[in-house]
A and B are shown apart, each in its own frame.
Chain A
Amino acid sequence: MPYLNANGVRLHLQRLGEGPPLVMLHGLLIGSLASWYFTAAPALARQSSVLLYDLRGHGRSERVALGYDSDTMVVDLEAVTEELPEPITLVGHSYGAVVALKFALRHPHRVARLALVEAPLPPSAAGEVNDFLALEPAQMLQVLPDSVKSMFAGRRRAAGRLLKNLHYLATQSSLIDDLRAETDIADETLAALQCPVLLVYGTQSPCREVGVRLSRALPRAELVLLDGGHNLPLEATQALTECLTGFCHG
């Protein structure tokens, strides 16, 4: 299993394909690098060297109590991308997209293109996320979108493992507090980002207006709305994959 010690945490990585470097970041809680591995990553890997990693506390990366704020996760991403040739393309979903955006703002010369799928901004203002985090882990499973629930239907072992991890993250890590403390990024800061940005949001997503705002604030952004909610990699796999390949390889 390929692991990297990054920022003091053992992170699990996978690589697919060959070509210019492209790094994909998944969303929190129910996400892992598999969120991309079984959706858009194989198609992107036809023309890119795709690097996928599990965020701290997720998938097969180390369970750590602290550091779920986006600034710490940007430092994780700095370590993950340290050896890559530049410039890189970043693709992020949900909180992974926030981390990608903050990385690009901090290292504008290192990022060729940026694809943000359902970035919540600020993450603490996404009402649905807060409601979700306030639930007991067992209830969290009940309110998951159908697309996610169907993956666990009749699968007690898999559901049990997801639940165990949700329980850990929600009750024994700083994730919830870190999320609530996340602040917004000012429009003036966003206006300085010169790389092309693809914004993909779901027509039924609570984050949809964030996409509209980002498309106005970022100078080179293109907004695409897809039929679906927040979990577009699962809910609109094919349409999202086409958008991402068009943008990253266009």
Chain B
Amino acid sequence: MKPEDSEEKILEALREMLNEAVGEDLMIDEPIGMETSFNEDLELESIEFVALAEQLQLRYGESVDFAAWISGKDLDEIIALKVGDLVRFIASCRT
């Protein structure tokens, strides 16, 4: 595994991508960690989640197929996702 594919580094990258996707509007009192929920903590709008998916694609290319991953989930599951779920998914694609 490359160093940049550790969960820690992916989390760091994800923080950057969230800033890119949502920008200054990102509302959060605590630092974004694995337990941060996209819905309750970050209050991402669905269209912002799309922008995050686009950032993932720009960064990781086809190795991370976000669309295929969410197509196996129903809406409630997508809404309940935590940052850690996405980090672990990315890590699993990169190994």
Contact = CB atoms under 8 A, between A and B. Distances in A.
B75 A234 contact: yes
B51 to A, nearest CB: 7
Contact of A32 (B25, B44, B47, B68): B47
Contact of A238 (B25, B54, B74): B74
Please indicate which of the listed interface residues A34, A41, A43, A60 has the most CB atoms of chain B within 10 Å of its own CB.
Answer: A34
Contact of B49 (A2, A38, A54): A38
B93 interface: no
Contacts of A38: 46, 49, 70, 75, 78
A156 interface: yes
A235 to B, nearest CB: 10
Contacts, number: 60
Given A43-B71, A155-B40, A238-B74, A60 B51 contact: yes
A1 B67 contact: no
User: 8 tightest A-B contacts by CB?
Assistant: A42-B71, A34-B46, A157-B43, A42-B67, A155-B43, A34-B47, A59-B47, A158-B43
B67 A33 contact: no
A40 to B, nearest CB: 9
Given A16-B67, A60-B47, A161-B45, 11 more contacts: A33-B50, A34-B45, A34-B50, A37-B46, A38-B46, A46-B68, A151-B75, A151-B79, A158-B43, A237-B74, A237-B75
Contacts of B51: 1, 60
Interface in A1-24: 1-2, 14, 16-17
B27 A157 contact: yes
B39 interface: yes
Interface string A58-70: 0110000000000
Contacts of B71: 42-43, 45-46
